[in-house]
Amino acid sequence: MTTINRQQLIDAAIDARTRAYAPYSHFLVGAAVLIRDGRVFGGCNIENAAYPSTNCAERVAMQSAWAVGARDIVAIAVVADTPGPVSPCGGCRQVMAELAPHAVVFLTNMHDNWVETSVAALLPGAFDPNDLPKK
């Protein structure tokens, strides 16, 4: 990757998970994205009583990076307390496909089980800006 290793990125996701706001599902998720320049942005899931207003950890992390101009996401780690490595929802996969299409993705859990994958493997045939009509 770049200046940090897989475990450091996973640790950043675990740290982000501690700030999750999940009073309804009690399903805490953390994520961390690594930018090519070495910066790491964390994200946690933030629920809302109006469920469609809930934000997933992966999207919070990616959008936090983009909000400050960090565009070159090279890796993403996602963690939850699941039996096996957690898997991102479809919405997060779609956002990954647009904001971090070439990122390495580490899916993990709180029991040190992890897999390495890619955005393309998580969402083959993703809808992207090239699919939209041209002006």
Active site residues: 58
Place of tokens 């990954």: 96
Token readout for 94 is 């779609």
- 113: nearest Cα among 84, 80, 75: 84
Residues sharing a CB contact under 8 Å with residue 43, sequence separation 6 or more, in sequence order = 16, 30, 31, 32, 33, 57, 58, 59, 60, 61, 62, 63, 64
What does the alpha-carbon distance between residue 78 and residue 33 come to, in Å, rounded to a whole number? 9
CB 68 within 8 A of CB 24: no
CB atoms within 10 A of CB 65: 24
